[in-house]
Amino acid sequence: MTSTTTAPERVEVEAPEKTWSGQNVPRKEDRRLVQGQGVFVDDVKRHGMGYVHFVRSPYAHAHITSIDVSQAEQAPGVYGTLTGEEVAALTDPFFQISSVPGGNIQDYALALGKVRYVGEAVVAVVADTRERARDASELVEVEYEPLDALTDARRARDADAPVLHDEAGGNLMWEGVYEWGDLDAAFAEADHVVKIDELHFHRFNSTPLECDGALVEYNRGVAQWTITTNNQFPGFAAIMMGPAMRCGLDKLRFVTQDIGGGFGNKITSHPQLVVCCLLARKLNRAIQWTEWRTDFHLSMSHGNERWFHETEVAVKSDGTLLGFRTKALDDAGAWLRYEPLGGVIWAQVTPGMYRWRHIRLEFTQVATNKAPVSPNRGYSRMQHLWFTERVIDIVAHELGLDPIEVRKRNYIRADEMPYETPNGCVYDSGDYAQMLDVALELIGHEQLEQRRQDAESRGKLLGFGIGSTLDSGTNNFGQSRMINPELQFSGNNEVATVKLDIFGEIVVTLGTTPQGQGHETTAAQVVADILKCSVDDVHVRAGHDSYWNSHAGFSGTYASQFAVTGLSAVKGATEMLRDEIFKLAGAVFGGVPPEALELADGGIRIRESPEAFLPFMACGAIINANNAGLPEDLGVTLNCRYVYRPPFQVPDVERKFGNLTLTYAAQIHTVVIEIDPDTGYYELIDYAAVDDCGKRINPQIVEGQVMGATAQALGAAMHEHFAYDEDGNLLTPNFYDYHVPHALDMPPLRTGSIETPSPFTPLGTKGMGEGGGAGIHAICAAVQDALRGHGDAIVWDSCNPYHRVWEMLNDPKAAGGSVSVSAA
């Protein structure tokens, strides 16, 4: 059941004995990508297109007292400009997901009257070359009247705090109390109460290597825009943009081929897309927008920064966890572009992987003068799971227990699956204790003490840490009603079409917008298994076009769901096509019943007389081009569309109770670190990651997701931080100061897996790809472990660069977290 590899062996693409699913089929996407033949958004050009450059705010918070574009408009090569006032005249504010007070804010595509973070777009300038657009943007004169900036969420509700949005009456955007079980009883039963004053999950994101971009064309005759873009969730962009632009959604055609990484960070580019649409119409030409790295860091999709205050944990002497209370304070940045959904998404994994039943979490989200937050790989669950993992390790530390034992004692057991959490989510399957055993074995845990002594003899401090994490996939959008009961969203869906073309080609279209997850390949594997053909016979259209691909309301690539929603839709559509082929062949063969037929060798034949064979090419030709004489009631088109709808109910909004996600993949990571106590510098010297995502269609792709998410977590745990100074300047606006892991930073990695198929999904699969947060949890635990006996600082922040480690070693009281234990 366990495999240990650092890189899977190549598997020859020959028809497998059993099924294509489960094989490491090399990806269909690779051939174009390794030749530089991918089509990314910035590769697309149009005759006479204008390049847009945004004038951005240098201030974190300021009134705009005047804007003068006259000089810029006179500059060489300039086609025109767009200001916030024009946007406000031409569009309505974006729809707000939040109930009041956050629901009252007025969000437009460009700043109007005020800027609220450094890097906010104020004016757009279009010119005939990229360089001239930027030249002209320097001629735009914007007068600002600076205001005090709010950069610390903890000050947001102070009486003297600067207020970002007057319409909201303060900086509170959304708040809600979640409580399940009987907290009083749990704390009465507890032997100890562990109190943790403050924990902080820092601000970062996945920094996909390709930044955002678009090429927007306007067709004046039919008042329709074609938006070639790398937005990863066009369905969401459309419902944000259509009402704002006062147009029907079919007037917005989204086109994508290859996307250079997304990780959730490319969901909320709708403000920039609106600007491009307005400019395309105003200037009567195609508008090209390339976001540069510094623009991205300044303004796009930071991950949610979150504080946890006044945490109290009820625990028995033997380490049995009964429950916890905490106050989560979420820093949304300046705008609610996808928020406050983070205020409920965390609840998909309320108890983490543990059996505690009594939980109270007061969630508050505030606005600050920083870039808006938006989904980032592990969105909102990562913050919460980091919290639960930190709690486990702090409890173990304070009570002198072994973190492995505390985990094993409290993990939800395999025999309890499916497990209903205190808030009504149903964990489908899993065996966390077994995964931990695999992870311990891979890292060589039994030699740990020996290695610790060896490290100490070299003057180094060795630390070991575990990170457990859940990757909840396939959202029930009904959870949004807990944020705002007025919202009419629930359930989820994804769609696929599969057809046989005139010459028998099998053509698949997806509703998704993949960014490297290999959808073309895994979809082909599913189709090939059903139609008994080769993956090479299955053509899955690259990318997405909302005009000619299938498309459903929640279509897109986000929230760990393709293996469930996407592939289930593919499966459904392929089965429809298969049934139609049976029907057609039955008629062609003169009334042969389906049970007498079988698929084989790229066609269909009569079981008992295999020479009666109808190749797919013939099927396609008959239906499409040679259909005279077919029975009138045949009802076969060989072009099948299937919408997969996961089995969800509308959650109980009053109790905040219900199943919020369909599947729960899991990851457990272990890490060994060595700290140089003189400098705080540390290295990851060994790393293991164990994954369970149910049935794996393409294990190599799954493992690639595990590895990639792990690398992102390592970066986040050690270096990656969107740090602001007190004036609201971003201190890490590029890869020079925002250090992402490089080749030399990577530790040796061992990977393992177990497979507990999901009982709830058509293929036994679970969505995956977002479980990498485990690396952050594990490194925090390892740092704390290394500091044991060397000041015993409590690791309270999710990002621990060298200077913080050194500070914790040298002044553990000041630099570490504050924790106390009291008898209950």
Partner 1 sequence: MAAISPSKTISVSINGTTYEREVEARKLLIHFIRDDVDLTGSHIGCDTGNCGACSVIVDGTLVKSCMMLAVQADGATIETVESLAEGDELSKLQQAFSAHHALQCGYCTPGMLMSATALLRANPSPSDDEIKKALQGNICRCTGYWNIFEAVKAAAS
Partner 2 sequence: MIVSGDRTFTAPREAVWGVLNDPASMAKTMPGVESFDVHDPTHWTANVKIPLGLGGLRMKVDMEKLEEREPEFAKLAIKGQGVGAMMRMETQFELSDAPDGGTAMHWTADVRIAGPVGSMGQRVLQPIVNQQVQHVLTALDREVKAAASEPA
Partner 3 sequence: MLLREVGYARPESLAEAIDLLAENDGARALAGGQTIVNVMKARAASPDALVDLNGLDELKGIDLAANGTLSIGAMATYTEIVESAEARARPILGEVCAQIADVQVRNRGTIGGNVCSNDPTNHLPPLMVALDATMTIAGKDGERDVDANDFFLGVYLTAVGTGELLTKITLPAGTADGFASVTLGADGTCICSAAASVNGGVHVAVGCVAAVPVSVHPGSSEEQVVREAVRDAAIDAPSDVHASSAYRAHLAEIVAVRAVNHALEAKR
Interface residues toward partner 3, by CB under 8 A: 53, 130-131, 134-135, 138, 292, 294, 678-681, 683, 718-719, 721, 723, 731-732, 736-737, 739, 741-742, 744-745, 801-803, 806-807
Segment interacting with partner 1, rule: CB under 8 A, options 118-126, 277-285, 744-752, 792-800: 744-752
Closest approach, Cβ 730 to partner 2, in A, equals 8
Closest approach, Cβ 82 to partner 2, in A, equals 21
Token readout for 576 is 């429809």
* 261 scored as a contact of partner 2 (CB under 8 A): no
Residue number, 92 or 131, with CB nearest to partner 3? 131
* 520 scored as a contact of partner 1 (CB under 8 A): no
For the sheet with 114-115, list strands across it: 114-115, 62-68, 141-146
58 binds, among partner 2, partner 3, partner 1, none (CB under 5 to 8 A by kind): partner 2
Q: Supply the Cα-derived Rg of the chain in whole angstroms.
A: 28
Residue number, 318 or 737, with CB nearest to partner 2? 737
Residue number, 51 or 554, with CB nearest to partner 1? 51
757 binds, among partner 2, partner 1, partner 3, none (CB under 5 to 8 A by kind): none
| Residues pairing with 820 in the sheet | 195
559 binds, among partner 2, partner 1, partner 3, none (CB under 5 to 8 A by kind): none
Residue number, 164 or 673, with CB nearest to partner 2? 164
| Residues pairing with 184 in the sheet | none
33 binds, among partner 3, partner 1, partner 2, none (CB under 5 to 8 A by kind): partner 1
* 741 scored as a contact of partner 1 (CB under 8 A): yes
Determine which residue in the list 1, 7, 188, 731 makes contact with partner 1, applying CB under 8 A: 7
The DSSP secondary-structure symbol of 491 reads S
59 binds, among partner 1, partner 2, partner 3, none (CB under 5 to 8 A by kind): partner 2
How far apart, in Å, are the Cα atoms of 626 and each of 29, 503, 585?
34, 12, 14
118 binds, among partner 2, partner 1, partner 3, none (CB under 5 to 8 A by kind): partner 2
On whether the CB atoms of residues 380 and 345 are closer than 8 A, the answer is yes
Pairing of strands 426-427, 419-420: antiparallel
Q: Report the site for partner 2 in 735-774 (rule: CB under 8 A).
A: 736-737
CB-side neighbour CA atoms (13 Å) of 614: 23
Determine which residue in the list 280, 425, 701, 799 makes contact with partner 1, applying CB under 8 A: 701
Closest approach, Cβ 132 to partner 1, in A, equals 10
Residue number, 302 or 544, with CB nearest to partner 2? 302
Rounded to 10 deg, the angle between the 403-410 and 432-443 helix axes is 160
Backbone angles phi, psi at 506, to 5 degrees: -95, 115
User: Which pairs from 138-143 meet CB under 8 Å and 24+ separation?
Assistant: 139/71, 139/72, 139/75, 140/55, 140/67, 140/68, 140/69, 140/71, 140/72, 140/81, 141/66, 141/67, 141/68, 141/71, 142/55, 142/64, 142/66, 142/67, 142/68, 143/64, 143/65, 143/66, 143/67
Q: Report the site for partner 2 in 125-184 (rule: CB under 8 A).
A: 138, 146
Token readout for 318 is 């033997």
What is the helix (H) or strand (E) element at residue 735, kind and residue range?
A: none
* 269 scored as a contact of partner 1 (CB under 8 A): no
CB-side neighbour CA atoms (13 Å) of 515: 30
The residue with tokens 């055609």 is: 253
Given 3-state DSSP classes, what are the helix, strand and coil percentages for the chain, each rounded to the nearest 5?
30, 25, 45
Closest approach, Cβ 290 to partner 3, in A, equals 8
Q: Report the site for partner 1 in 707-726 (rule: CB under 8 A).
A: 707-708, 710-712
Backbone angles phi, psi at 440, to 5 degrees: -70, -40
* 761 scored as a contact of partner 1 (CB under 8 A): no
727 binds, among partner 2, partner 1, partner 3, none (CB under 5 to 8 A by kind): partner 2
CB atoms inside a 10 Å sphere around CB 191: 15
Q: Report the site for partner 2 in 669-728 (rule: CB under 8 A).
A: 727
Token readout for 363 is 């969630």
* 731 scored as a contact of partner 2 (CB under 8 A): yes
| Residues pairing with 62 in the sheet | 115, 146
| CA atoms of 171 and 283, how far apart (whole Å) | 38
Instruction: Specify the 3-state DSSP secondary structure of 148.
Output: coil
* 209 scored as a contact of partner 1 (CB under 8 A): yes
729 binds, among partner 1, partner 2, partner 3, none (CB under 5 to 8 A by kind): partner 2
Closest approach, Cβ 730 to partner 1, in A, equals 14
Token readout for 182 is 């009987």
Of 802, 798, 796, 801, the closest CA to residue 816 belongs to 796
On whether the CB atoms of residues 110 and 83 are closer than 8 A, the answer is yes
30 binds, among partner 3, partner 1, partner 2, none (CB under 5 to 8 A by kind): partner 1
188 binds, among partner 2, partner 1, partner 3, none (CB under 5 to 8 A by kind): none
Closest approach, Cβ 515 to partner 1, in A, equals 5
Instruction: Please report, as ranges, the residues that interact with partner 2 according to CB under 8 A.
Output: 58-59, 118, 138, 146, 294, 727, 729-731, 733-734, 736-737
Instruction: Please report, as ranges, the residues that interact with partner 1 according to CB under 8 A.
Output: 6-8, 10, 24, 26-27, 29-40, 42-43, 45, 130-131, 206-211, 258-263, 292-294, 515-518, 700-701, 703-705, 707-708, 710-712, 734-736, 740-744, 746, 749
